[in-house]
Structure 1
Amino acid sequence: MTRERSGRDRARLLATLRLQYPDALAESGFRLLHPETGDPYTDDRRHLVATCRSIANFSAGAVVGGPEWCVDAVEHGLEFLREAHRGADGGYRLVVDDGGEPVDRTRSAYGHAFVLLAYARAAAAGLDGADEDLRATHALLEERFRDDAGLLRSDCNPDWTEREAYRGQNANMHACEAYIAAYEATGENRYYDRANHIAEKITGDLATATDRLLWEHYTDEWTHEFTYNEDEPRHQFRPPGYQPGHHLEWAKFLGLLERYGKEDESIAVTEGQYDRARELFDAAVDLGWAGDGFVYTVDRDGEPIVADRYGWALAEALGAAATLAERADFHGDDEERDRFRDWERRLADCASAYRGPAGLWYEKRLSPEDGGDPVGPKPPGVEPDYHPASAYYERWRSARKMSDRP
């Protein structure tokens, strides 16, 4: 049964990518597609995060043995990442136009985490030169972004001076994701160690001050900054409050760290990751599950700040539930395995509400109080169905792990 499940999720991943290919490929870089029509947006800006996410998507398709066009799309994206986004000093520009001219030269910590992810996924897919670029990006992160706490510092100007005395969990969460992918691609423990260190700090040490919940914003000394952006509740990358969706992503990443820690005897395993991953999943449900998705943000008292349901949070819940079902199976915890499988089914049943007529996912659905209408992403956009593709990729991997057990 689990082998059949993995086959279905492989098909779902490739179907998601087929909706993108070839229309998302511009003459240079990738274009965002509209979820209602499937037509490319006419905006000529290219966001670093979207470029990297598209590379990661098609690389996953290549890893699962998808059609040759998956590799073609990865090569297309890598060329643009190297030639248009990358500057002479090795850093990456946040936004460029379709000709490679800089629009926003910010050295984004969040963006560079996705650069590492893109090269890691491409290396796993066997793309030429991706392993060298992976090592170079790791060195860049070590030199330019790693702070005294061993975490990523904030966004920088083109000369690498910090823009503000800020630290954020979001950039670090995606750095953790990227380092896990780098470990998967290379088997090198240094990448696992980096991912594990970030996870321990964010989901362990720092969470002791917030009843084990995960705050988003900190000072440059990693002190909680509870008033940050409180006047911008809909900020695209740094909204105030707790984000249930990020608790779900962390649940997935802790499950993956536990998986590889148990498989590789050379790794010093952090105890309790399975329990902490389940705790974070359940916290996300308590904070944000609304029956049709997860509210975007809640305040420190648990009241919604922005009650819109974002598609990415639902997709991440799907991937987290699959990962935790696999980890429960590993631990012989049948009750928890069945519970997370039930969550997979419930979440999958909700997914159709977030897909537009073209099959692509909307960015969000407004809260019922605001009409519940679906809303597509605004250009230049950072979401080329990366979260749904990641969910199906992880469901494929988790089901295969379970099916391989005696």
Structure 2
Amino acid sequence: MSGSWLDLPDHHAWLAAEEARLTGFAAASALNGGGFAWLNSSGRPDPGRPVMTWITARMTHVYAMAHLRGEPGAGTLADCGLAALRGPLRDSVHGGWFPGMTVQESSPEPIDTTKAAYEHAFVLIAASSATAAERPGAVDLLADALGVVEDRFWDDTAGMCRESWDRSWSQSEPYRGANSNMHMIEAFLAAGDATGDPVWHRRALRIAERIVHQVAAGHDWRLVEHFTPDWEPDLDYNIDDKHHQFRPYGTTVGHWLEWSRLLLHLDATLAAGPEGALGTVPEWLLTDAVALFDAAVERGWGVDGADGFVYTLDWQDQPVVRERMHWVIAEAILAAAALCKRTGESRFEHWYRAWWDYAAHYHIDRVEGSWHHELDSANRPSQTVWPGKPDIYHAYQATVLPRLPLAPSPGAALRRILEDERA
């Protein structure tokens, strides 16, 4: 397709400038004792919040990528995250990772002893990207994380990941979630690329087939988030806690877009690997990605009278939580970019431009830095669900991934670019 922003050097330069602005802002989150802090709206560490594993892992991934892109100092920041992931955030007794730790540098303590798939997915992503960036200790961390995920979370019978365990791995939570499994797809793609083992790619396909091709398709592309232990949809889950940060009631429109993008990465990964050589890449990966994207635009964009994606919908497509989250518009941008690359259709280019315009006008904070993580229904900064500016993972990827191929995963792609330039 001619005239695409995705092909314009000036647009790439704008993305690179925003990328650098984001990594500069987030550098303040690095802690002397290792790990990354939750940042407030002004970009200062929030002293009232612990060091969260998901934030530390995400920021390790970001700065590993920034190092691969040639940003001075980024490798040292990635090492700061690795130190915490190999140290106090890890359970040295039973293995696996705690959700977070207190901020006392001398003797940090876990804030909770639950072992959750969500955090472990990001540890795996961080380790994969840091391995691609050749950071010290990353290979050992990757092997450790793969072993934990293999032994504790992967359920081969279901073809899905369990949600969480107690500290000693003796009792599993009677809940199954799509969100953690979605990020496990991202993690499995990265791990398969980092290790060269296609079993992780095949497992990612099994997760996607169940959640999207079976369940979401069976609910007219309304993505189901919450399930029973037997993987039966639980449509009333958290009906009394609609604003929950990670498990809100109803369906989360931003995840429709994020799944759409991940299906395309999976499609490209399988096409480039031995599965593609055998001609077995499922056609539904593309058709389902388009269906999820179209449903998100129709049911989630501007449905309450103002631009922006509402956070959640009920099962009759009525808005429940109307706040606009920065990660949703970032994933919308990435889904549009991926579909534009995969299909060449101009309608995806249209939405790519429209959503960058929206992000630039409403979410990008040019006064205090980074992006406003949440807007109210009138597109004014708010903090109902997400206080402060915890991390830059979604915004950063929105600036980098449109300039990379759909496969391999970002860390592996940047490693390959470096190697090609050296050759």
Same fold (TM over 0.5): yes
Match of 2:21 in 1: 15
Cα separation, partners in 2 of 1:12 and 1:314, compared to 1, 3 Å = same
Q: 1:398 to 1:347 in 2, by over 3 A?
A: farther
Structure-2 residue corresponding to 1:324: 339
Q: Deviations over 1:24-73 (max 9, x none)?
A: 112122122223x222222251111111111111112123x232311110
Alignment of 1:269-288 (within 5 A): 269-288=281-300
Preserved CA contact (<8 Å) 2:82 2:137: no
Provide the rounded CA distance (Å) in 2 between the counterparts of 1:262 and 1:172.
22
The 5-angstrom pairing of residues 111-126 of structure 1 reads 111-126=119-134
Q: Secondary structure at the match of 1:315?
A: helix
Match of 1:310 in 2: 325
Cα distance in 2 between the residues matched to 1:216 and 1:340: 26
Say if 2:255 is the partner of 1:246. Answer: yes
The corresponding residue for 2:85 is 81
| Preserved contact between residue 370 and residue 389 of structure 2 (Cα < 8 Å) | no
Q: 1:399 to 1:213 in 2, by over 3 A?
A: closer
Write the mapping of 1:148-297 to structure 2, written as runs, cut at 5 A. 148-162=157-171, 164-267=173-276, 268-290=280-302, 292-297=307-312
Give the AA of the match of 2:247. R
The structure 2 residue matched to 1:360, chosen from 342, 346, 370, is 370
User: 2:188 and 2:321 mapped to 1: Cα distance?
Assistant: 31
Q: Please, which moves more after superposition, 95-104 or 251-260?
A: 95-104
Structure-2 change in CA distance of 1:218 and 1:308 (3 Å): same
Where in structure 1 are there 5+ consecutive unaligned residues?
330-335
- Equivalent residue letter for 1:247: W
The TM-score, its normalising length taken from structure 1, stands at 0.90
Alignment correspondent of 2:74: 70
Query: Which position in structure 2 is the counterpart of 1:32?
Result: 38
Indicate how the Cα distance of structure 1 residues 277 and 209 shifts in structure 2: closer, same or farther if over 3 A, else same: closer
CA deviations over 1:225-283 (Å, ceiling 9, x no partner): 11111010001110111111000000110111111222224444122212211111111
Note the C-alpha offset of 1:399.
9.3
The whole-number CA distance in structure 2 between the counterparts of 1:400 and 1:120 is 15
Residue 375, structure 1, aligned to residue 383, structure 2: yes
Structure 1 residue aligned with 2:63: 58
Q: For residue 91 of structure 1, what is the amino acid of its counterpart?
A: G
User: How far, CA to CA, are the matches of 2:406 and 2:148 in structure 1?
Assistant: 35
- 1:79 alignment partner, SS class: helix
2:381 and 2:146 map into 1 onto residues whose CA distance is 41
SS for the counterpart of 1:212 is: coil
Q: TM-score, normalised by structure 2?
A: 0.86
1: distance between equivalents of 2:185 and 2:154? 13
Cα distance in 2 for partners of 1:126, 1:199 equals: 30
- Return 5-14 or 202-211, whichever deviates more: 5-14
Question: What residue number does 1:144 align with?
Answer: 152
Structure 1 residues 263 and 251: alpha-carbon distance in aligned structure 2, compared to 1, 3 A threshold: same
Distance in 2 (CA, whole Å) between partners of 1:9 and 1:145 is 36
Say whether residues 1:394 and 2:409 are aligned partners. Answer: no
Q: What is the one-letter code of the residue matched to 2:131?
A: A
8 Å Cα contact 1:227-1:240 kept in structure 2: yes
8 Å contact kept, 2:322–2:377: yes
| Greater CA drift, 185-194 or 392-401 | 392-401
CA–CA distance in 2 between the matches of 1:121 and 1:8? 24
| Partner residue in 1 for 2:421 | none
Partner of 1:97: 102
Q: Which amino acid aligns with 1:135?
A: A
Question: For 2:16 and 2:201, how far apart are their aligned partners in 1?
Answer: 26
Q: Secondary structure at the match of 1:307?
A: coil
* CA root-mean-square deviation: 2.3
% same residue: 34
* Residues 230 and 223 (structure 1), Cα distance of their counterparts in 2 relative to 1, 3 Å cut: same
For the 8 Å contact 1:177–1:253, the answer to whether it is kept is yes
Q: What SS does structure 2 have at the residue aligned with 1:18? A: helix
d(CA) in 1 for partners of 2:62, 2:86: 17
Superposition deviation, residue 91 in structure 1: 0.9
* CA distance in 1 between partners of 2:372 and 2:227 (Å): 30
- Deviations along 1:118-147, whole A, 9 cap, x unmatched? 111111222233233223212211211122
CA distance in 2, matches of 1:280, 1:349: 22
SS in 2 for 1:303: coil
